[in-house]
Structure 1
């Protein structure tokens, strides 16, 4: 069975199930929950469930264009979305708009709306649906969509500027691209449309400014899929109606090449920042990028997800997975090679027997974690030294309490703790690669991490990656103090695996291979603790936290710890 047939089979089953399920409207208390206790989950579950329904029925109408049953199901879902109180998530609301006072309403004589990621996406989705299916949908509903998109998105956009218009991250491309796409579909007046597209094109410049020349996405792989995806959806529509081709920017090509530079193996990814440990390439999107830039690697199709409707029920990427997929294109394994993203300060070595990735950077990156010097080690279908990735999003996750979450704090990363002090948040806390040597069977990286700590310390981290049949990673940290510290801890975050301790070695037991951690037992005292955190999906996830306490505190200290896969 082809990938496309598997996708359609899954869509058909999902549509049948969704049709049988009862839909409840979001009640007032659920809406107010974020404002009262900072929780997002209950509201967003219902909000995104509605989007999954409309997207699934819309996709089935694309697959079965003459099935009037799907027309009826789709019309009902569109109608319900048109009647929602807001298309914006409560976590993103401007309280002076949706929740304006009666007095303010009397002064302005109109309802005001916030335009966030999801309000803009909703406008794009509905505009595209009513254009694609204009011969089948009720004309009244088509007009209703045009009215709702205008008053909820176009009018607020024309009346003011938004913070995301100058953002150097995914908000710019998703919000701007969605509004631009909706305008292309719904606004017939050329002057009005061009006014919107001119602003959107400027926003896209800000989005691209968030990338270095090497095209690396420090937000994480899924935010690359998300933000760059919407950039491409808009750029594709724009060049069909205007003499403007955003793909001609040289940086866009480098961003398109980022995908193949961030996978450890198969569906295991380098999940620095707010990213999950596993991800699937969007195969239709990748085929489109390959058509724009033939250098883009085509991955194996079995790695691609067949559930094209994501957890947010996004229409734009889902429909393009079907439209852009080309069954004639064949894929292959991720290339076994090195990638050094100098400006983004990320290094990845992907070899047959194992993979290794490390980052420098600073601690004010988009979706930042305090993680200068963090690294990941993978071997034989097992991530041993891991990154916890994204935690569960709530109000505290994005305010001053962000680094109370272990997945965001330096405590949840494989970096030292000096005098009881971890790395802090801020652009001034940073590191950089001093040397990067790449040879046939060994890579050597030297990183200066001195500025990543508030303490007066000179800290160099040297990593030697020996990618032989039994890969070895040697980590050597050299600390130079003005005077001996009161404490020094080497900290490592590893997978939740069975382990045993030997005289000068800790052995983690994977399914296919083990990881041996070798250390100097005279200088360092190990301790192992099983910990947990709540991941992005709201599930409790466990990991092992291995710390080595320094026994010989002096002005100059060297830690030499070796990780051997066998």
Structure 2
């Protein structure tokens, strides 16, 4: 089979060589039982909540994405209204598929056919914010003769391929001709563009590889395995997918860290692991590189290494600190089993819901795999592992907590890195401190995506600016955007009394702002956290800033924060006499209010006339807990 069509071979090819030309036939290419075997292999109890929701859908009109909503991204920047209509339509279809597999009522198969037909009639599968039709054709609506292959198109073609796999025979009986329509639309909108147009930015041919790569390649793989006939074209498509995934894995650091953070792991590294699992199945295990590639083994640990406690995670870049709890935990569980990572398996198991192994929100393929995974359905939830310390050198992210396996007391995170990461925020030197696993010194995350989010005005958005992260403002300057603005010289410090990360962050500021700025965050065995800043030649307009969540009161040299979720209050102290200000930022965007409530507060401590400043964070203790 042709592998090196674009002059590239990475760690996957090094371990496994070419993808074998012998692939499972289309009817048996995916590791999920079809309708003829579903009821025997998947207990009805696992699907009951989905069937109940599908039953409620039957008499309701289907969502209708509109031209006026699609065009808004070019007019006022709104992309969310259109996308939510598309997502709602696809989730309804996924529920209907599970219902049709689980219940003989023919109305569910009719519902599936309606949803499939609507997708085939939908003018574009691409999300308008991604389409290049305006730059190529001057159109604010999709050009149907020149489809753009993006995340949205990948999700639809993947959904249709999974439907064809599990319900194909029954659709042939009740709706003859519908499967041919699926194949026509898949070929026109995805398969031919993928094979013929090799300038897609997400391929990473310019060296910039991000989460679009495995997300789209994984869906194209499903489409190719199921919807293409056996032969050279199918073999070539699978080889191109394997090579594309190889580019992504080649860019994945040895420690498995994701610079976009935990929330994007699920649609980046996790997508790669899922696609490679499908390739292993489609080749009868002959092409199975995951256990052999260090970066893939390590990235399986990234979710639990990012866990603060409960629903809270270390959030970097555009990720939220409290992401949706409904993630495809079964995919992490499966990957953990594949590489033998028991801590990752236990972290996934901790999120196994008793009433349903998965929901439709993550897509049909993920839903079907969860429902049909015997080991996942049988898993018993337990506690998350919560490692005592984490150091990820590729992203310069460090975490320390008081005791492994417990979110109690304080956890501290310090981030170095640079200001041109994927989904970048200008945040070199940013601090997070959690009380009982709940962030108190925080990273805000990001508001709802608009056209501005990934346009030239990105850093006009306040959440992207260093002024609204827990980093210094030096000599009146914030951190600029760019890879050159970076941390350096990270040093891990361990003693009997404490563990710390010390790094240089002066390089993240404009030239001339400061000669050197060393930041050290330390977790002391006694339970408190210190943030030590030491600098040379900074101007008078210099402040150490902390972004706080919860209810905040301040006085000379102190602040008291009552955190969210009933966590133990903390007291933040600094040298008395150092002036401070507290600015309250009212929140109204649901991406922020759903995490933080109606406000965040920025504490700014003046560093004028000093060359060092220590901030101490301690949990308040009851009198009977005091030494």
TM-score of the two chains, using structure 1 as the length reference: 0.90
Q: Structure 2: 5+ residue runs without aligned partners?
A: 1-42, 621-627
Please tell me whether the aligned partners of residues 170 and 223 of structure 1 are also in contact (alpha carbons under 8 angstroms). yes
Aligned partner of 1:44 in structure 2 is 83
Measured in 1, the distance between the counterparts of 2:496 and 2:99 equals 50
Measured in 1, the distance between the counterparts of 2:241 and 2:190 equals 13
Q: Offset of 1:233 from its aligned partner?
A: 2.6
Measured in 2, the distance between the counterparts of 1:343 and 1:300 equals 24
Measured in 2, the distance between the counterparts of 1:215 and 1:407 equals 26
Measured in 2, the distance between the counterparts of 1:336 and 1:131 equals 41
Measured in 2, the distance between the counterparts of 1:514 and 1:489 equals 24
2:154 aligns to what SS in structure 1? helix
1:128 is aligned, of 162, 166, 170, to: 162
Measured in 2, the distance between the counterparts of 1:251 and 1:296 equals 17
Aligned partner of 1:174 in structure 2 is 215
Aligned partner of 2:443 in structure 1 is 387
Please tell me whether the aligned partners of residues 70 and 79 of structure 2 are also in contact (alpha carbons under 8 angstroms). no
Aligned partner of 1:341 in structure 2 is 392
2:614 is aligned, of 546, 560, 563, to: 560
2:148 aligns to what SS in structure 1? coil
1:204 is aligned, of 240, 245, 267, to: 245
1:446 is aligned, of 492, 499, 502, to: 502
| Count of matched residue positions in the alignment of Structure 1 and Structure 2 | 545
Measured in 2, the distance between the counterparts of 1:395 and 1:467 equals 46
Please tell me whether the aligned partners of residues 97 and 113 of structure 1 are also in contact (alpha carbons under 8 angstroms). no
Q: Note the alpha carbon deviations across 1:261-309, whole angstroms, 9 max, x for none.
A: 1101122100111111123353311221122012142127453465844
Q: Offset of 1:99 from its aligned partner?
A: 5.4
User: Is structure 2 residue 527 aligned with structure 1 residue 465?
Assistant: no
2:113 aligns to what SS in structure 1? helix
CA distance change for structure 1 residues 478 and 152 in 2, over 3 Å: closer, same or farther? Answer: same
CA distance change for structure 1 residues 431 and 535 in 2, over 3 Å: closer, same or farther? Answer: farther
Aligned partner of 1:246 in structure 2 is 289
User: Is structure 2 residue 270 aligned with structure 1 residue 229?
Assistant: yes
CA distance change for structure 1 residues 295 and 301 in 2, over 3 Å: closer, same or farther? Answer: closer
Please tell me whether the aligned partners of residues 588 and 598 of structure 2 are also in contact (alpha carbons under 8 angstroms). yes
1:91 aligns to what SS in structure 2? coil
Measured in 1, the distance between the counterparts of 2:134 and 2:453 equals 23
CA distance change for structure 1 residues 549 and 7 in 2, over 3 Å: closer, same or farther? Answer: farther
Aligned partner of 1:256 in structure 2 is 300
Aligned partner of 2:33 in structure 1 is none
CA distance change for structure 1 residues 328 and 96 in 2, over 3 Å: closer, same or farther? Answer: same
Aligned partner of 2:185 in structure 1 is 148
2:58 aligns to what SS in structure 1? helix
Aligned partner of 1:372 in structure 2 is 428
Aligned partner of 1:530 in structure 2 is 584
Aligned partner of 2:236 in structure 1 is 195
2:376 aligns to what SS in structure 1? coil
Q: Note the alpha carbon deviations across 1:48-91, whole angstroms, 9 max, x for none.
A: 111111111122234x1534222111111111011000000110
CA distance change for structure 1 residues 496 and 547 in 2, over 3 Å: closer, same or farther? Answer: same
CA RMSD of aligned residues (A): 2.4
Q: Note the alpha carbon deviations across 1:504-526, whole angstroms, 9 max, x for none.
A: 3211123342111111122x211
Measured in 2, the distance between the counterparts of 1:465 and 1:560 equals 13
User: 43-52 or 321-330: which moved more?
Assistant: 321-330
1:236 aligns to what SS in structure 2? helix
CA distance change for structure 1 residues 122 and 356 in 2, over 3 Å: closer, same or farther? Answer: same
2:609 aligns to what SS in structure 1? coil
1:90 aligns to what SS in structure 2? coil
CA distance change for structure 1 residues 326 and 133 in 2, over 3 Å: closer, same or farther? Answer: same
Aligned partner of 2:194 in structure 1 is 157
Q: Offset of 1:356 from its aligned partner?
A: 1.6
2:92 aligns to what SS in structure 1? helix
CA distance change for structure 1 residues 401 and 5 in 2, over 3 Å: closer, same or farther? Answer: farther
Please tell me whether the aligned partners of residues 472 and 544 of structure 2 are also in contact (alpha carbons under 8 angstroms). yes
Aligned partner of 1:492 in structure 2 is 546
Aligned partner of 1:278 in structure 2 is 322
Measured in 2, the distance between the counterparts of 1:512 and 1:129 equals 45
Measured in 2, the distance between the counterparts of 1:436 and 1:5 equals 52
Aligned partner of 2:575 in structure 1 is 520
User: Is structure 2 residue 454 aligned with structure 1 residue 402?
Assistant: no
Q: Offset of 1:320 from its aligned partner?
A: 2.1
Q: Structure 1: 5+ residue runs without aligned partners?
A: none
Aligned partner of 2:55 in structure 1 is 16
Q: Note the alpha carbon deviations across 1:197-254, whole angstroms, 9 max, x for none.
A: 2211121122123321100011121211112232223212212233322313222111
